[in-house]
Chain A
Amino acid sequence: MNPSEKEINPKLRIQTWFAFLVFIMSIFVVRLFYVQIIKHDYYQKAALSDQLKQYELPAERGTIVAHSSGVLVPLVLNESLFTVYADPKFIVDVAQTSTKVSDILGGKPEDLRKLMEKDTRYSILAKKVSKEQKQKLEGLKLKGIGFRETVQRTYPQGQLASQLLGFVNDEGIGKYGIEQALNETLTGKPGKLKAITDAQGVPLASNQDNILVSPKNGSQLALTIDLGMQQQLEDILKQGLEAASSKSGGAVIIDPYSGAIKAMANYPTYNPSDFSKVTDLSVFSNAIVSSPMEIGSTMKPLTLAAALDQGVVNKDTTYFDPSVWVIGDSKVVNVEEDGGAATRSMKDILQLSLNTGATWLVMQMGGGEINEKARIAWHNYLVDHYQYGKETGIEQGYEAAGSVPSPTDGYGLNIKYANTGFGQGITATPLQLGLAISSVINGGVYYRPYLIEKYTEPNGLNKDTKPVVVRNNVVKKEVSDTIREYMIETYTKNFRAYNSQSSNVPRPEFNIGGKTGTAQEANPDGGYYTNIFNGTYVGFVGGDRPQYVISIRVNDPKIPGYAGAKAAAPIFLKLTNMLIDSYGVTPKMH
Chain B
Amino acid sequence: MEKKYWQSFGELNNSDAYQKSSKNEFKEELPFDAEKGLLDAKTPRRDFLKYLGFTTAAAAVAASCEVPVKKAIPFANQPEEIVPGVANYYATTYVQEGDVISVVAKVRDGRPIKLEGNELSPITKGGTSARVQASVLDLYDGARLRFPTIDGKETNFDTIDKVISEELASAGNIVILSSTINSPSSLDVIQKFLAKYPGSKHITYDAVSNSGILLANETSFGKKVIPSYRFDKAKTIVSIGADFLATWISPVEYANQYAHGRKINDANPEMSKHIHFESVASLTGSNADVRYLHRPSQTGAIVTALLSAVKGESINGISDAKLKEGIEKTAKALTEKKGEALVVCGSNDVNIQIIINAINEILLANGKTIDWNSINYSRKGIDTEFAQLVDDMNAGTVGALLVIDANPVYTWYDNEKLKTGLDKVKVKISFGSKADETTQKCKYVIPNHHFLESWGDAEAKSGCYSFMQPTIYPLFKTRQWQDSLLKWGGASTDYLAHLKSFWGAKLTGSNSWDKALQDGVHNTASDILGTSVYNATSLAAAIANVQPAKTGIELQFYQKIAIGAGQGAANPWLQEMPDPVTRATWDNYLVVSPAMAKTLLKIDLSKNAQSDKYEVHPDKKVVAIKINGKLIELPALIIPGTHPETVGIAVGYGRDKKLGKTVINDVTDTSIGVNVYPFAQYVNGTVSYDISNIELKLTDKTYPVALTQTHNLYNTPHGNRTEILKELTLGEYKENTKVILEEREKELAAYGGLDNFREEGSIYKPFDKPGIKWGMSIDLNACNGCGACLIACNAENNVSVVGKPEVLRFHDMHWLRIDRYYSGDADNPNVVFQPMLCQHCDNAPCENVCPVAATNHSSEGLNQMTYNRCIGTRYCANNCPYKVRRFNWADYTGSDSFPNNQDELNNAVHYMNEDLTRMVLNPDVTVRSRGVIEKCSFCVQRLQDGKLKAKKEGRPLKTGQNDEWDLKVACQQSCPTDGIIFGNVNDAESSISKARRDSNRLFYSLEFLHVLPNVNYLAKVRNTDEQA
A complexed with B: no
